[in-house]
């Protein structure tokens, strides 16, 4: 009896873990639904506070959310927390003293989670927001933080999740494979285990007439069940290899592999779990798959401040590029000043505009006429019931009189040969709110006929950057002028700074480029051509690489177009199979197509290509030996000889593989062990 590839793999086990972050949030829900007071820096919470707008927290020494406003990407942590949310009770205006603090992942016990529903029933007054009774509100404001309703949370906890179940096979059926189970399958075999697992976990009764494991896929399909190449948790992995085939239960799907649970994998009538490539199986039978996890939200959006008027104390918040894989039901913007913590916070509902953006207009008269820094955060309420934090920004409301912007220009990465340099803007300050930074650049030659107004890009260190190429400025050399302007949120355009730089003439040494041969593979007959230090004073529109073998002249020549890489090198990948499988010396030349369309030669090199061709034999069949051949237990030339075949002997093989620089045929011996014989 032959064994299949399923006879040679070690066990793997999975340990399920409970996230402390989720448990922490469930504690928050417990406290919220129970209407109990919560201590957050010694401040009480009204029992009449709506459950749809807040996450209660009992964590002391929390950091204020206003401390998070460093950049659009640094406002929220990546932890996923869960809480009740609603589309109905967002506060648009309020006089409440509402404080917004970060919930630093409070811990709780599993026992507390089980009491959520009981405590929820005891609260019957949490359906309206009474601002005059609120002393303090603690909100968790986190980027990509999900807030679930209780119904959604319960469904999530009870849904089928991927993971190894363990050996749940009946102890009375375990043994050496004697007798039949309820469905007529031999006990302690793969078919019996899967049949029981489908009943126990999937709650599905399998048909009794599917036969050996290798027949399951065909027979299940003939009875109307889905059989395909796509695995799913709870599906049956099905193989036709070996005499009887094999089936296993899919516990998890991880990229291109599956975690399976099975019996009798290596003829030991025992339980095993393994991680296997999806391609190892003939297919997957979907009798009754388990429910998969809900799709996680994928969201994005940007916040812009427009029409800021410091004198009037007004500004507009515009949300652009709003998108989600779920429908966006609401765009919410909590806004508050930095004065007196968050005593003036208002949760605005942004209104959708005709151009697809969302807009909210803000008056500081609604925020106790506070001036200075204002925090603006962004949330979406999605069609799946979740509320998720997107990001945030700040704007500064001055007294309406002072306009003293600052900023310094610095030139870096200057390369006269390539005619490139970078402009860095440091110490950026714009009292009336900065909308964007503009940097006009032009050469002294012929006035401003080559001027370009660049928009600077903000960097992670809070500086701004512009990259300049003189090829965009008519390739002029000499003095370049660089000026700095700020576009403010109140619609003004302010000049801030200016400087000059000298781009010197360089000696014309012609085009340059270095050719290197890398990643040569003597098994596949492939290699890569890498071109570095690419330069041409007249520009490089394309990098062309003609390649051909010495065999039969240039009858196999191919003109490749190299692809630019992230490190500014260029790359071509070459296969001998595209060059008539010629072996020996290959010629590699380098040409540039200039910006004017002319092509110039740069250089060339040669490389030797040798590879082992696969013997012209089928993937399985009978093989007749022409000379003595050693039989080995593994496909390595260093492996000791177990036995041998003489010239004229035949063997039936079921695999052809390449290993240790040789091609091998392989078969399963009468003892069940796999053997290998080199044929090249």
DSSP state of 76: S
pLDDT of residue 417: 83
Residue 381: Cβ-neighbour burial (10 angstroms; 0-12, 13-18, 19+)? buried
Average pLDDT, integer, range 7-25: 39
pLDDT of residue 108: 34
Does residue 196 come out as left (phi exceeding 0), alpha (psi in the -120 to 50 range) or beta? alpha
Average pLDDT, integer, range 42-66: 32
In this prediction, residue 21 has a pLDDT band, given cuts at 50, 70 and 90, of: very low
CATH architecture label of 299-397 = Sandwich (2.60)
Q: How many CB atoms lie within 10 A of CB 434?
A: 22
Residue 125 has pLDDT above 80, yes or no: no
Instruction: Give yes or no for a contact between 13 and 52, defined as CB atoms under 8 angstroms apart.
Output: no
The mean pLDDT of the chain is: 78
Interaxial angle between packed helices 150-158 and 20-33, expressed in degrees from 0 to 180 and rounded to the nearest 10: 140
Residue 360: Cβ-neighbour burial (10 angstroms; 0-12, 13-18, 19+)? buried
Instruction: Give yes or no for a contact between 652 and 667, defined as CB atoms under 8 angstroms apart.
Output: yes
The per-residue pLDDT for range 387-432, each reduced to its tens digit, is 999 999 999 888 766 567 889 999 999 988 889 999 999 989 887 7
pLDDT of residue 403: 60
The per-residue pLDDT for range 624-645, each reduced to its tens digit, is 999 999 999 999 999 999 999 9
Average pLDDT, integer, range 36-58: 31
Alpha helix stretches (DSSP H) within 331-457: none
Residue 247 has pLDDT above 90, yes or no: yes
Report percent pLDDT > 90 for the chain.
55
The highest-level CATH class for domain 512-609 is mainly beta
Q: Shortest CA distance to 56 belongs to which of 78, 74, 35, 70?
A: 35
Instruction: Give yes or no for a contact between 131 and 97, defined as CB atoms under 8 angstroms apart.
Output: no
31, 246, 268 from 243: Cα distances, Å:
61, 9, 16
In this prediction, residue 581 has a pLDDT band, given cuts at 50, 70 and 90, of: confident
| CA pair distance 242, 211, nearest whole angstrom | 15
Enumerate the domain spans of the chain.
175-269, 299-397, 406-503, 512-609, 621-678
Query: Phi first, then psi: what are they for 112, rounded to 5°?
Result: -70, -30
Contacts of 670 (CB under 8 A, 6+ apart): none
Q: Which fold has domain 406-503?
A: Immunoglobulin-like (2.60.40)
pLDDT of residue 400: 65
Q: How many CB atoms lie within 10 A of CB 361?
A: 12
pLDDT of residue 652: 95
Residue 579 has pLDDT above 80, yes or no: yes
pLDDT of residue 614: 81
212, 219, 240, 265, 338 from 244: Cα distances, Å:
6, 14, 7, 12, 73
The per-residue pLDDT for range 204-245, each reduced to its tens digit, is 999 988 999 999 999 999 999 999 999 999 999 999 998 899
pLDDT of residue 489: 81
Token digits of residue 374: 């204002």
In this prediction, residue 291 has a pLDDT band, given cuts at 50, 70 and 90, of: confident
pLDDT of residue 133: 32
Residue 189 has pLDDT above 80, yes or no: yes
pLDDT of residue 289: 92
Residue 115 has pLDDT above 70, yes or no: no
| CA pair distance 587, 545, nearest whole angstrom | 10
Average pLDDT, integer, range 19-47: 39
| Most confident stretch, 8-22, 86-100, 437-451 | 437-451
The per-residue pLDDT for range 307-340, each reduced to its tens digit, is 888 888 899 999 999 999 889 999 999 999 999 8
72, 249, 258, 321, 419 from 214: Cα distances, Å:
56, 15, 19, 52, 68
Higher pLDDT among residues 24 and 526, named by residue: 526
Mean pLDDT is lowest, of 10-14, 161-165, 654-658, for 10-14
The highest-level CATH class for domain 621-678 is mainly beta
pLDDT of residue 294: 66
Residue count (the chain): 680
The per-residue pLDDT for range 536-575, each reduced to its tens digit, is 888 899 999 999 999 888 999 999 999 999 999 999 999 9
CATH architecture label of 175-269 = Alpha-Beta Complex (3.90)
Same fold, 406-503 and 621-678: no
| CA pair distance 113, 23, nearest whole angstrom | 7
In this prediction, residue 355 has a pLDDT band, given cuts at 50, 70 and 90, of: very high
pLDDT of residue 310: 82
In this prediction, residue 508 has a pLDDT band, given cuts at 50, 70 and 90, of: low
Indicate the pairing of strand 570-575 with strand 526-535.
antiparallel
Within 461-539, strands assigned E span 464-469, 478-488, 493-503, 512-521, 526-535
The per-residue pLDDT for range 445-481, each reduced to its tens digit, is 998 999 999 999 999 998 999 999 999 999 999 999 9
pLDDT of residue 458: 93
Query: Phi first, then psi: what are they for 192, rounded to 5°?
Result: -65, -45
Residue 136 has pLDDT above 60, yes or no: no
Instruction: Give yes or no for a contact between 407 and 484, defined as CB atoms under 8 angstroms apart.
Output: yes
Instruction: Give yes or no for a contact between 288 and 304, defined as CB atoms under 8 angstroms apart.
Output: no
Residue 79 has pLDDT above 90, yes or no: no
């Amino acid at each position: 009896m032959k064994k299949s590839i399923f006879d040679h793999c070690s066990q793997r086990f999975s340990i399920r873990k409970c996230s402390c972050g989720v448990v922490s949030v469930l504690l928050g829900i417990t406290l919220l639904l129970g209407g109990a007071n919560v201590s957050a820096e010694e401040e009480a919470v009204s029992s009449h506070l709506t459950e749809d707008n807040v996450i209660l927290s009992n964590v002391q020494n929390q950091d204020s959310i206003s401390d998070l406003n460093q950049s659009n990407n640094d406002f929220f942590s990546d932890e996923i927390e869960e809480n009740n949310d609603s589309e109905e009770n967002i506060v648009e205006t309020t006089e409440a003293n509402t404080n917004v603090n970060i919930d630093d992942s409070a811990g709780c016990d599993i026992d507390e989670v089980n009491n959520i529903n009981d405590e929820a029933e005891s609260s019957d007054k949490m359906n309206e927001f009474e601002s005059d009774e609120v002393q303090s509100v603690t909100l968790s404001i986190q980027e990509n933080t999900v807030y679930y309703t209780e119904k959604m949370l319960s469904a999530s906890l009870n849904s089928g999740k991927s993971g190894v179940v363990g050996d749940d096979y009946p102890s009375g059926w375990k043994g050496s494979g004697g007798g039949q189970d309820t469905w007529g399958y031999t006990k302690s075999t793969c078919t019996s285990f899967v049949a029981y697992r489908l009943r126990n976990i999937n709650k599905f009764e399998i048909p009794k007439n599917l036969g050996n494991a290798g027949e399951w896929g065909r027979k299940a399909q003939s009875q109307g069940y889905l059989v395909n190449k796509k695995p799913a948790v709870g599906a049956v992995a099905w193989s036709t290899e070996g005499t009887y085939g094999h089936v296993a239960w899919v516990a998890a799907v991880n990229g291109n592999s599956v975690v399976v649970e099975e019996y009798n994998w290596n003829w030991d009538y025992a339980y095993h779990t393994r991680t296997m490539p999806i391609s190892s199986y003939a297919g997957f039978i979907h009798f009754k798959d388990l429910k998969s996890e809900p799709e996680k939200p994928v969201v994005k959006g940007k916040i812009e401040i427009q029409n800021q008027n410091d004198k009037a104390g007004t500004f507009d918040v515009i949300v652009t590029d709003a998108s989600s894989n779920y429908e966006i039901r609401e765009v919410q913007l909590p806004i508050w000043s930095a004065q007196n913590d968050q005593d003036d916070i208002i949760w605005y509902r942004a209104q959708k505009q005709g151009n697809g953006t969302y807009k909210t207009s803000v008056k500081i008269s609604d925020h106790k006429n506070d001036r200075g820094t204002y925090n603006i955060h962004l949330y979406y309420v999605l069609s799946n019931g979740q509320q998720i934090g997107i990001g945030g920004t700040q704007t500064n409301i001055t007294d309406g009189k002072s306009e003293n912007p600052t900023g310094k220009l610095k030139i870096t990465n200057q390369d006269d040969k390539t005619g490139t340099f970078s402009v860095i803007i440091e110490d950026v300050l714009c009292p009336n709110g900065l909308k964007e930074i503009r940097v006009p650049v032009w050469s002294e030659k012929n006035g401003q006929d080559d001027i370009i107004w660049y928009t600077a890009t903000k960097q992670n260190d809070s500086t701004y950057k512009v990259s300049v190429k003189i090829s965009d400025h008519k390739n002029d050399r000499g003095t370049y002028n660089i000026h700095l302007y700020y576009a403010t949120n109140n619609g003004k355009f302010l000049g801030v700074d200016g400087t000059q730089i000298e781009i010197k003439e360089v000696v014309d040494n012609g085009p340059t480029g270095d050719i290197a041969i890398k990643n040569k593979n003597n098994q596949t007959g492939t290699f890569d051509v890498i071109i570095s230090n690419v330069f041409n004073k007249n520009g490089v529109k394309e990098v062309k690489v003609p390649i051909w073998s010495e065999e039969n002249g240039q009858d196999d020549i191919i003109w490749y177009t190299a692809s630019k890489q992230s490190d500014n090198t260029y790359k071509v990948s070459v296969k001998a199979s595209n060059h008539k499988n010629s072996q020996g010396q290959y010629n590699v030349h380098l040409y540039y197509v200039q910006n004017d369309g002319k092509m110039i030669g740069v250089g060339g090199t040669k490389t030797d290509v040798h590879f082992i061709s696969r013997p012209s034999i089928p993937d399985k069949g009978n093989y007749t030996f022409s000379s003595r051949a050693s039989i080995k237990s593994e496909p390595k030339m260093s492996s000791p000889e177990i036995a041998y075949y003489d010239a004229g002997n035949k063997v039936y093989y079921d695999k052809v593989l390449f290993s240790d620089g040789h091609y091998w045929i392989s078969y399963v011996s009468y003892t069940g062990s796999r053997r290998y014989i080199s044929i090249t």
